[in-house]
Every structure is written in C-alpha cells, then in structure tokens.
Amino acid sequence: MLGPELINFTARPTPIFLEGSASIQLTQQAAKDLGLKDGQIVQGVLAARGDLLKLVINNKELDWPGSGRFNAGDKLDFKVELSIFGRALVPVARPTRGAAAPTLSPRLLSLIHRPDQPSVLANLFKPGGLDAVVAQLSGADQQLRANLLLSMARLSPEGVKRGLTQSGLFGENLIAAGIPGRAPDIKQLLRILLRSMPPQSAAVAELESAIDEVESKQLESIQAQQSRELSYSFVLPFMDANPVEIELYHDARQGAEAGEEWIINLHTETPNLGELWLKTTLKSAANIEMILWAPYGDVAQRARSAASELEYELQRFGLTLEKLDVLSAPRPSLSEGLGGSGQVVDVST
C-alpha cells in the first residue's frame, strides 16, 4: 500500500485522477448554471463540435482540455471540488473492466479529504509557538534555529529556496534519490519532536496535526501533477517574524505563451500590520502584476506610498512591475462569490 511516507519512492505515483485528462476550472456563475454542488459526482459526455470536442454536462457545453486520446461519445466522471484555485471539475478514474478498483489506505483517504482549516504549521511557528515543545528536548531549539528558521531581516532568494526544499514536500524524494548529508526538513523534525514527546503531552496532538498538514500538501502537489499542473504549498518559518504561508501554482496545460504564468500567493499576520495577503502573477520571465489586501487603512496607504521603492527593488532582479493594486480590505473568500478561474486565488489561513 502506498502511503505518504513512501509517496515519492516510485518514479510515477499511483494515479488518483483520470490519466490523460485535466481538471476544468469553473466560474461561480458557470457552477451555478450547471447546478453543481461541492463534493458532487457528475457524469459528462464528450461531443464533437467540428474539429473540437466539448464536454456536455446537464445539457450544457464546456471546453474540453483533455488529451487527444478521447473520442466523441466517451463518458467521464468528475467530482466538483472547491479549492484554492476556485471551483473545478476534477476527473475521477474508473476502474478498468475486469480489474479491481485501487484501494487507498484510511490514512491516505483522510489526508486527501482533509478539511480546509487554518494552518497548524503557521500557528506552530509563531514566535513562542514551539517553546513548550523544545523546552522538553535538549538541543532541539538550537537544531530548529540552525536548520529551519530564516531571518526576515536578512531574507534572500537563496533563503526562500532553502525554505522550499526544507518544507517537507520533497523529503522522501531526496532520500530515494540518495542525496546524503541533508539536515532534517520540517516534517522530519516534527517527527523527531513527536517521538520524543511523552504520550500524555498536550503537544502531541498539535505535532500530529502539523505532520498531517505537510503530508496533505504533498498529496495535493501529486494530484496537481496528474492534472498537468504544478502546485506547492508550504510555510516559511522565521526567527524574527511570524511565519509566511506560500503557494506556488503553474498551469502547464495552457499554451506556450500563457503557460509562462506563475501565481505566487503569500499570507502572514503581524501585530503591527495585521493580516496581509499578496497575490503575484508572473506574466513572463520579467513582468509581474501584484494585488495586496491589507485590512488596516493606514497599512494600505503605506503600501501605496512604497510602490516606487518596490518597483526599484524588483528592477534590481530584472523584474518589471506592470501593475500593483492595494486594497484596504481582507482578502475575499471563494464562498463570497468571488472565486473562479482568472479571479481571486484563495489562500486559506
């Protein structure tokens, strides 16, 4: 049985979604017109429209982004899902005729269907969040600071890269590749802490939930790959600031020009600035657009005033800021009707 601890030991993970097809992003209005509900399983039929294939669901046609191995008349099952990228029809694999359906362990199923909730990791890595844990372990605090915690004041591109590689998303893959001498990543360190905790410790449940979060993000990344996408969600912990939640998304199914786009979402919270959400769209190798949500009016005004300084700093890295929108409001959630492809990307916190 393939479990999260072995998920990257195989060259090609067991498919969870239909091979050769892709998830279909829906606007809020499109989902409403189709009469779809979150979690619902629906069946669609491919129909020929000239040289193109269309997916027909509830007598309505949708563009079909799947591979050419499908033909008119093929019937496909989809699950309606609400994710950070909006509502989508996610292909569901049918078992091959004469073959038993793949069986997923209860552990995998619980991680795949882990409900949306505030980030346990972000709360754990707030200043003082691990004090009660590391106080019980000799040398754990020094190991944590040396290996994982970055300095916000001295943050660099190399630091962000190190934070991604140590996020816990790639640990099994690096072990399988035989890369030696690497310091423990976040998930490994959490497991070390968990094994060292007394069973009755109040920190056990929080550490287990934090590990669940990392492994759930690992599965989300694998599911995205099955849909010809790239998606990574992780937390950057800092020794001198609150942690930052980061999401990277790239839709590899788009055309060559549009396929250059990457979406980078950040979320953090500080005592002085409140909550901040930043969506950055990398339009090409050098051009970017940004949207910042800052509920405090004075913080939003300070961000607008610093726009020219931000533009200058980006130019040092060869980037051109094409557009910056600063909104004095919390980031809208998808449940408020602002979701869908091409709109707000929700960063759950």
Q: What is the per-residue pLDDT across 272-316, written as a single tens digit (0 to 9) for each?
A: 999 999 999 998 778 999 999 999 999 999 999 999 999 999 999
Domain limits, the chain: 17-99, 104-227, 254-349
Strands of the sheet with 86-92, listed across from one edge? 24-26, 86-92, 75-83, 41-49, 52-57, 60-63
Bridge partner residues of 78 (DSSP): 42, 91
Phi, psi of 224 (to 5 degrees): -65, -40
Distance CA 312, CA 220 (A): 36
> Higher-confidence residue: 71 or 342?
71
pLDDT of residue 337: 34
pLDDT at 167 (0 to 100)? 92
Side-chain-side CA neighbours of 146 within 13 Å: the count stands at: 8
The count of other CB atoms within 10 Å of the CB of residue 112 is 14
Does residue 244 contact residue 125 with C-beta atoms inside 8 Å? no
When comparing pLDDT for 243 and 346, which is higher?
Answer: 243
State in words which class domain 17-99 has.
mainly beta
Question: What letter would DSSP give residue 295?
Answer: S
| Count of beta carbons in the 10 Å neighbourhood of residue 56 | 16
Return the exposure string of 304-321: e unless at least 16 CB atoms fall within 10 Å of the residue's CB, then b. Answer: eeeeeeeeeeeeeeebeb
Strands 229-236 and 244-251, sheet pairing: antiparallel
Structure confidence at residue 20 (pLDDT): 43
What is the residue-averaged pLDDT of the chain? 77
Task: State mean pLDDT over 96-124.
Answer: 74
Does residue 160 or residue 67 have the better pLDDT?
160
Cα 231 to Cα 61: distance, rounded to the nearest angstrom: 28
What pairs with residue 229 in β-bridges?
Answer: 251
Instruction: Please check whether the domain covering 254-349 is classified as CATH 3.30.2390.
Output: no
Instruction: Report the Cα–Cα distance between both ends of the chain, in Å, rounded.
Output: 32
- Asked if residues 257 and 249 have their Cβ atoms less than 8 Å apart, the reply is no
pLDDT bucket at 3, cuts 50 / 70 / 90: very low
Burial class (CB in 10 A: 0-12, 13-18, 19+), 122: buried
Could you give the 3-state DSSP secondary structure of residue 58? Answer: coil
| pLDDT of 95 | 46
Q: Check whether 30 has a pLDDT greater than 70.
A: yes
What's the pLDDT score for residue 307? 94
Question: Which residue in 57, 20, 31 sits closest to 42, CA to CA?
Answer: 57
Tell me what pLDDT residue 27 has: 79
- Assigned token pair, 212: 């669940």
